[in-house]
């Protein structure tokens, strides 16, 4: 059984609603029918993002995170193309999540008898590459949360799902350059961001944090 953390967007006020459920399809129907008190006056609603976890506490933890400041920043980066109107196709929602990555990997395995060896390997590698990026991105989220609690946080190594990541922080005056290296089955992907530390040295500003992939 999966436990889902999901994000809806109101077509009425364009604002987000974040929730958690065991049955995503039923819960969305309830939202659309006005059964859910918190969203009945904000209909119609659009499902724009969801994540699936095998553990209930993991899903509720993600729900709380996505409702907070850094969770909202994560959504803005994750859904950047959708929110800015780039690469938008009618009737299509880009739902990027570990569930889809896992499903693609499973489909590749089940279709082995239909695919050529080269094609199968290419698809599997692309799936693992996406999973590696997800690990790096999740690691960067964790680093930002730790940095908010402790401006002297110096990085380290974390285990994320089936992969691991290394967090490296370079100090340059009031700026901190955070570089995260995600690794899954010998595949490596790196992302980097730069943040500014306030004068009190304990927290950093409320500007939106953007990150980019580096070689």
The CATH number linked to 129 is 3.30.1300
Residue 51 binned pLDDT confidence (cut-offs 50, 70, 90): very high
Domain membership flag for residue 91: no
**How, if at all, do strands 155-160 and 163-172 pair?**
antiparallel
On whether both 208 and 107 belong to a single domain, the answer is yes
CATH number where 51 lies: 3.40.1440
Lowest mean pLDDT among 21-35, 96-110, 117-131: 96-110
Q: 24-47: per-residue pLDDT in tens?
A: 999 999 999 999 999 999 999 999
Q: Which domain holds residue 47?
A: 3-84
Number of domains in the chain: 2
Domain membership flag for residue 201: yes
User: In sequence order, what DSSP letters do the residues of 43-65 get, joined into one string?
Assistant: -SEEEEEEEEESSHHHHHHHHHH
On whether both 22 and 119 belong to a single domain, the answer is no
Domain membership flag for residue 93: no
């Amino acid at each position: 059984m999966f436990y889902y953390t999901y994000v809806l967007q109101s077509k009425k006020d364009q604002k987000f609603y974040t929730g958690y459920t065991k049955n995503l399809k039923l819960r969305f129907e309830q939202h659309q029918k006005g059964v859910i008190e918190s969203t009945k006056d904000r209909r119609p609603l659009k499902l724009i993002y969801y994540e699936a976890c095998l553990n209930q506490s993991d899903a509720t933890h993600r729900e709380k995170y996505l409702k907070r400041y850094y969770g909202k920043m994560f959504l803005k980066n994750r859904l950047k193309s959708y929110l800015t109107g780039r690469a938008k196709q009618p009737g299509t929602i880009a739902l990027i999540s570990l569930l889809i990555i896992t499903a693609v990997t499973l489909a590749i395995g089940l279709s082995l008898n239909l695919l050529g060896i080269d094609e199968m390997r290419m698809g599997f590698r692309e799936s693992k590459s996406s999973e590696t990026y997800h690990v790096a991105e999740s690691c960067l989220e964790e680093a930002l949360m730790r940095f908010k609690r402790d401006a002297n946080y110096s990085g380290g190594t974390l285990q994320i799902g089936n992969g691991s990541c290394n967090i490296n922080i370079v100090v340059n005056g009031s700026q901190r350059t955070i570089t995260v290296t995600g690794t899954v089955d010998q595949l490596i992907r790196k992302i980097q961001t730069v943040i500014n530390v306030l004068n009190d040295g304990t927290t950093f500003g409320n500007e939106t944090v953007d990150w980019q992939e580096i070689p």
